[in-house]
Amino acid sequence: MVGRINPAVETTDHSVRIDAQNARALLAGIDMLVDALDNIPDRFALEEAARILGIPMIHGALAGDNGQVMTIFPEDPGLKLLYGEAEQNRIDPRRAEAVLGVPALSPSAVANVQAMEVVKVILGRRQLLRNQMLSIDLDAGVHEVFKF
pLDDT-based confidence at 2, cuts 50/70/90?
confident
pTM across the whole model: 0.85
Cα-Cα end-to-end distance for the chain:
37
pLDDT tens figures, 4-47: 888 888 788 888 888 778 888 898 889 999 998 888 888 998 99
pLDDT of residue 88: 61
CATH class, domain 2-147, is alpha beta
List all residues 6 or more positions away from 113 whose beta carbon is below 8 Å from its beta carbon.
60, 67, 69, 134, 136
Strand arrangement, sheet containing 66-72: 33-34, 57-63, 66-72, 132-137, 142-147
Lowest mean pLDDT among 12-16, 84-88, 102-106, 120-124: 84-88
Span 90-112, average pLDDT = 73
Query: What are the domain boundaries of the chain?
Result: 2-147
Span 44-62, average pLDDT = 94
pLDDT of residue 19: 77
pLDDT-based confidence at 3, cuts 50/70/90?
confident
pLDDT tens figures, 66-100: 999 999 999 999 999 998 886 665 656 666 566 66
